[in-house]
Amino acid sequence: MDRVAISITSKDISAELGLSDLQMSFVFSIFTLAYGAFEIPTGWWGDRIGTRAVLTRIVVWWSGFTMLTAGAFNYASLLAVRFLFGMGEAGAWPNVGRTLSRWFPPVERARAQGIFFVGAHGGAALTPVLVTWMLEWTNWRWVFVLFGSVGLVWAWFWWRWFRNEPREHPDVNQAERDWIEQGRGAAAGESHAAGVPWGRILRDRNVLLLCAAYFVQTYGFYFFITWLPTYLARERGFAAMKLGLFAALPMIACVIADVTGGLAADGLSRRFGRRGGRAMVTIASYLLAAGCMLAGTAAEEARTAAVLLALACGWDSFLLGATWSTCSDIAGRHAGVVGGVMNTAGQIGGMLSPIVIGVVLERSGTFAMPLYLTGALFLIGALCWCFIDPDRAIGK
């Protein structure tokens, strides 16, 4: 919710602060630049000291800078706040990946990741409708103040309830602990990672291919959380509440895809092995996302276009459970670091996406070319997954 709110309020922010489309694209991307730059250090930090403390710090920081977004008074101040916002939020998903790798056995990991993404995308789905309604009775500044305050409450509950390891939690009995730790191998009793084999990680074929595929996934996803409302209003003629509803459709599709994608990845992996099952899910997801993206861009009728693009976003998320569980499986006790490496590659795609769209939009006045490019990139993601092996740990 905190991240998506700016795409819905961008029109009001641009009008009040006098920002052009290109300047707004840099506002979108400066967050992602900082987010990507600090992913690996924060993922490593979670590996070292545990995710209880690190995720608490992350959410407190990003909530504070969500509220400080309301204090922006010009282009420079908005860029500074969004950069610091991204810096503080960095490492959230790698630390969640590490958390799930410690609390779920491999046979349940993809569905656990999928359920996690329901929260992320469910919040994003709610945001366009909620913010559109809030702007009827308040201004964009109060939207950020109210949204940011929610995270502070979450951080308090997380710190009180969560423990880094199942054995540390008073509500986990011995049988459940044994089940969770089953399959974790040598890393089962290790709470925190020691030295990081950077050379093996950065040269590993699986890691490099995961990075390339995740670059594509995030590049496509960032269109939906940055420029989609502008596209629907300017190019497809949607207005007011209808805009909020159709802007929410992609995230609704993601919520459905998160659960079903995780279940499909675990179910197919049990039948065909992890490599076969996850490859089926991811390759099909990228191919269907490409088809829907290209068809939606070409569609003449506005609602048809909006639905097809929503389906493209859904298929782009159907693969997340398989992707992140594969990352955790090959990483072992270095799940935070490897998750950070993969997510950094994704954030480079997320940073480039709004800028490419903004530059092309300013020069051509149309969204068609950058959206066709996004559809073509999805095909590269499918190709990468033809060679990824979730059964091969890093360095093997």
For the segment 128-183, what is each residue's pLDDT rounded down to a tens digit? 788 888 998 899 999 999 999 999 999 999 999 999 999 899 999 999 888 888 76
Collapsed DSSP state (helix, strand, coil) of residue 169:
coil
| Structural domains of the chain, ranges and CATH numbers in brackets | 5-162+197-384 (1.20.1250.20)
Query: What would the pLDDT profile of 272-282 be if each residue is shown by its tens digit?
Result: 998 999 999 99
Which DSSP string do the residues of 6-55 spell out, in sequence order?
A: HHHHHHHHHHHHT--HHHHHHHHHHHHHHHHHTHHHHHHHHHHH-HHHHH
Contact 95, 243 (CB under 8 A): no
**100: Cβ–Cβ under 8 A, 6 or more apart, which residues?**
109, 112, 113, 116, 324, 328
Residue 367 in tokens: 């969204």
Nearest-5° angle of CA 53, CA 57, CA 58?
A: 115
| Contact in structure between 155 and 56 (CB atoms under 8 Å) | yes
Nearest Cα to 95, choosing from 43, 36, 162?
43
**Looking at the predicted structure, is the pLDDT value of residue 192 above 60?**
no
* 28-66 pLDDT per residue, tens: 888 888 888 899 999 999 999 999 999 999 999 999 999
Write the pLDDT tens digit of every residue in 77-107.
999 999 999 999 999 999 998 999 889 888 8
Q: For residue range 233-253, what is the model confidence (pLDDT) as tens digits?
A: 888 877 655 676 777 788 889
| pLDDT tens track for 22-34 | 888 888 888 888 8
- If DSSP states are collapsed to H, E and C, what string results for 228-288? HHHHHHHCCCCCHHHHHHHHHHHHHHHHHHHHHHHHHHHHHHHHHHHHHHHHHHHHHHHHH
pTM of full prediction above 0.95: no
